[in-house]
Amino acid sequence: MEHGGLAGPEQRARAVALGIPVTIQQPLLHDTAEVEEGYWGPERVARLFPARGWIDLGAQVSAGSDFPVGRFGAMRSVWGMTTRQTVIGVKGPEHAISYEEALTLHTTQAAHLTGESHLRGTLTPERWADLTVWDRDPAKAVGEALRDLNPTHTIIGGQVVAPR
> For the segment 82-93, what is each residue's pLDDT rounded down to a tens digit?
999 999 999 999
pTM of the entire predicted model: 0.90
To 5 degrees, how large is the angle CA 80–CA 82–CA 87? 30
Confidence tier at 67 by pLDDT (50, 70, 90): low
> For the segment 44-54, what is each residue's pLDDT rounded down to a tens digit?
999 999 999 99
Superfamily of domain 9-118: Metal-dependent hydrolases (3.20.20.140)
CA R_g for the chain? 16
Annotated domain spans of the chain: 9-118
Cα separations in angstroms, 50 against 94, 129, 140: 8, 31, 25
To 5 degrees, how large is the angle CA 108–CA 164–CA 126? 35
> For the segment 135-161, what is each residue's pLDDT rounded down to a tens digit?
899 999 988 888 888 889 988 888 898
First to last CA, the chain: 34
Nearest Cα neighbor of 155 from 118, 126, 123, 112 is 123
